[in-house]
Copies of this chain bind each other. A is one copy, B any other.
């Protein structure tokens, strides 16, 4: 069992997050190598561009290291919509509410910046059933379903939540 001490949230990425995010995303066994590479790429872009990047992060850390993270950002061209790009929790930490806590903390940050809507894209594949239930439990509702968007029988479901 990993250490389960107090978990702290941190917004500002540091260089070590690139490797930590890659390890965490791969440790879930949920994402493809290509998806893990995209997750790393977003950290790299944020490290390179700083706050000018459209990718914001929230890292959940315990003594043993990174336990989960969320990546979100303002939708270009929208005055008040944000996209949730990634939310990942260490398998050893799942089922303890860390995902909900991360999402709630990201929503607070978005609301403080004037955000009114949050969107999260997910796949319609059976593998994503727990993901869909997670969003619904967190107050998101399905706003669109684009059949076969990612691949045959792999549609895109857009979940949305209204803030405030």
**1-56 of chain A: CB within 8 A of chain B:** 34-35, 38
- Judged by DSSP, the binding face of A is strand
The reply to whether A119 and B144 form a contact with Cβ atoms under 8 Å apart is no
- Is the CB–CB distance between B80 and A151 below 8 Å? yes
User: Is A134's CB within 8 Å of the partner chain B?
Assistant: no
The reply to whether A150 and B78 contact each other, CB–CB distance below 8 Å, is: yes
Mask, A115-153, CB within 8 Å of B = 1, is: 011010000000000000000000000011110111100
Interfacial chain B residues near A143, Cβ < 8 Å = 144, 146
State which residues 97-120 of A face B: CB under 8 Å: 116-117, 119
Q: Which residues of B contact A119 (CB under 8 A)?
A: 146, 149
Contact A149 B35 (CB under 8 A): no
Q: Does A77 contact B (CB under 8 A)?
A: yes
Let me know if A62 is at the binding interface, CB within 8 A: no
Is there a chain B Cβ closer than 8 Å to A76's Cβ?
yes
A32 to chain B, nearest CB (A): 9
Task: Tell me, yes or no, whether A160 is within 8 Å of chain B by CB.
Answer: yes
A148 to B118, CA, bound (A): 11
A and B contact pairs by CB, cutoff 8 A, 18 listed? A34-B77, A35-B77, A38-B76, A75-B149, A77-B150, A78-B149, A78-B150, A78-B151, A79-B150, A79-B151, A81-B149, A81-B150, A117-B149, A143-B144, A144-B145, A144-B146, A146-B158, A146-B160
